[in-house]
Structure 1
Amino acid sequence: MSLIASLPWYDLPVRQPKLDAFWSVLRNELHRLSAPLLPDRLPLPETLNRHTPLVEQWAHPALLLSQCCGPDLFTPQAQELVPIARPVFADLDGTPGQYFSHIVTARGREHRGSGRFVINSASSRSGGAALFEWAAASGIDCDQVLISGAHASSLDYLRHGWADLAAIDAHSWPLLDTRGITIIGRSTEAPTPPFVMHRCSPIGAALIRTALDCAIEQAGASIQIAELMNINGQTYQPMTAPWHISLPAGAGGISCATAHPSLSAGQRMSVDPEPVPGNGSLIPIGSLK
């Protein structure tokens, strides 16, 4: 069985050479640590998988290592995933093991009391719920929700005037084309996106965690990861938002900083936010239809 490894969450072109080098170090550590335990050398992939859609990777028993957004763990697409650990980002000025989003708009755009929101996906923390939470705290109403599929695409929406506000993962911000974009706010912190594996992976979570620790000690600085932190059952929670979003069939896909596999370039998806009935209690986005 050919194993699968990917590090998709920040796999932008400017970062890919460093991620490839990091995988090479991690691959060596996996070989070294597994050698005393396994009679045959593991068929570890030579390169990171960048062609198979994430949802297909996550469902495959050969998935050795990948990443997801914390709230993705509560979606049907990720039901076979096991979280391993979460990274401490060396470039962020926040609580270790936490991250935040920049709230952004197109430069020169007038700041109003309402606007069109562009989000990565229904289960995105950094590109979705972070924006909803900031807007609710700031008294800004949502006129329309657009789904871009990725941070990079959300920035394009702002530049083209298709949307007014977006939330961009602060760790991915230096890797993106932010020309013509200005930061107007900062979201609350949330646990960083976890490293994950398929529950049927031929290598156990403890060994992968040890290999990751060793690789980060050797090469983590190149991808701005200082160390790993443990994950428990309370680390992540289902995504919530102060608006009910009626998503079209197939619109609840997975997203990251890189391109969304199910949205073609320039494709726009719009959904209408509906005020939450009753007392305005939060509704988990992951459960919406």
Structure 2
Amino acid sequence: MYDWPELRPATDRFWSALRDALRAEGMAAPERLERDRDAMAVWTDPTLVLAQCCGLPFVRALSGRVELLGAPDYRLPGCPPGFYRSAVVVRRDDLRETLDAFRGSRLAFNERGSQSGYAAMLHHVAPLARERRFFSRAVETGSHAASAELVAADGADIAALDMVSWRFIERYREAAGRLRVLLLTDPTPGLPFISALGADVPAMRRAIAAAVVALDAASRRDLGLTGFRPFDPGHYDLIRDRAAAAERLVAV
């Protein structure tokens, strides 16, 4: 889910470590990553070895259809191991200091199936909504980077960006210099690793943890990867419940 062009060499090295660790546990694993298929088709493939998905499609479409393994830990501020949150960003020259001050503003979000870019924002504006409205306009951009670019260019006023993606935007995108963080959203379990139904979950979890340790330090640093946290499906009920509660109060 964080396979940015600038990070692909590090991602490929991580896959090599994962592949070797899976094989050491007696499981078949392909030589290389597959990058060219539709995400939902990959996630629901009965031959899936390993993939990462977003928590919102997991609770809405995948729970019970795949094996949940856990989430990588990126050691994000204010988050327990394996959890993540979003940075709500606005233009640096926008002087408004509270979320409520952005009532009637223009929202940029990556996609409606995103916990970090869509549901996390709804969770925070829902208590402030009036007659189920808060924003005057919402633009679906297709990616966190595109949302950041749109806000920086004054095509929108505010966006919630997965904090791991925000780190990469700060590192690789010039638009970050024109943005500031207004607030951080409430933490939720991070983007889960999943496998096909029937996979050997304990062995998969051992392999992922071993791969993180085996990965070279430079690649771990590039990816921001510090560990792995096993999770069960019940951990993600938090995402389902928050999204359902927010959608009863606000529409985007």
Normalising by structure 1, report the TM-score.
Answer: 0.71
| 8 A Cα contact 2:92 2:180, kept in partner | yes
Paired residue for 1:225? 225
| 8 A Cα contact 1:106 1:158, kept in partner | yes
Q: Secondary structure at the match of 2:135?
A: strand
The CA deviation string for residues 131-167 of structure 1, in whole angstroms up to 9 with x for no partner, is: 2233346779322222222111111221232221101
Give the CA deviation at 1:233.
Answer: 3.4
- Identify, as 1 or 2, the structure richer in strand: 1
Moved more, 208-217 or 81-90: 81-90
Distance 1:100 1:63, change over 3 A: same
Instruction: Decide which of 17, 24, 45 is 2:9's aligned counterpart.
Output: 17
Q: Secondary structure at the match of 1:45?
A: coil
Paired residue for 1:99? 84
Give the CA deviation at 1:195.
Answer: 0.5
Instruction: Decide which of 35, 58, 78 is 1:73's aligned counterpart.
Output: 58
Q: Which runs of 4+ in 1 moved over 6 A?
A: none
Q: Which amino acid aligns with 1:160?
A: A
Instruction: Decide which of 157, 162, 167 is 2:160's aligned counterpart.
Output: 167
Equivalent-residue separation in structure 2 for 1:160 and 1:150 (angstroms)? 15
- CA root-mean-square deviation: 2.7
Paired residue for 2:180? 182
Q: Which amino acid aligns with 2:195?
A: M
Q: Which runs of 5+ in 2 are unaligned?
A: none
- Identify, as 1 or 2, the structure richer in helix: 2
Q: Which amino acid aligns with 1:18?
A: A
Paired residue for 2:243? 240
Count how many residue pairs are aligned between Structure 1 and Structure 2: 232
Give the CA deviation at 1:77.
Answer: 6.3
Q: Which amino acid aligns with 1:190?
A: T
Q: Does 1:122 align with 2:81?
A: no
Q: Which amino acid aligns with 1:131?
A: M
Quote the sequence identity (%): 25
Distance 1:113 1:127, change over 3 A: closer
Distance 1:49 1:134, change over 3 A: same
Give the CA deviation at 1:46.
Answer: 1.9
Give the CA deviation at 1:78.
Answer: 6.7
Q: Which amino acid aligns with 2:166?
A: W
Q: Secondary structure at the match of 2:226?
A: strand
Q: Which amino acid aligns with 1:159?
A: A
Identify which of structures 1 and 2 has the higher relative contact order when contacts are C-alpha pairs closer than 8 Å and 6+ apart. Answer: 2
Q: Secondary structure at the match of 1:225?
A: coil
Q: Which runs of 5+ in 1 are unaligned?
A: 1-8, 36-41, 245-275
Distance 1:228 1:77, change over 3 A: closer
Instruction: Decide which of 13, 27, 30 is 2:22's aligned counterpart.
Output: 30
Q: Which amino acid aligns with 2:112?
A: A
Give the CA deviation at 1:93.
Answer: 4.6
Distance 1:49 1:179, change over 3 A: farther
Q: Secondary structure at the match of 2:215?
A: helix
Equivalent-residue separation in structure 2 for 1:33 and 1:243 (angstroms)? 42
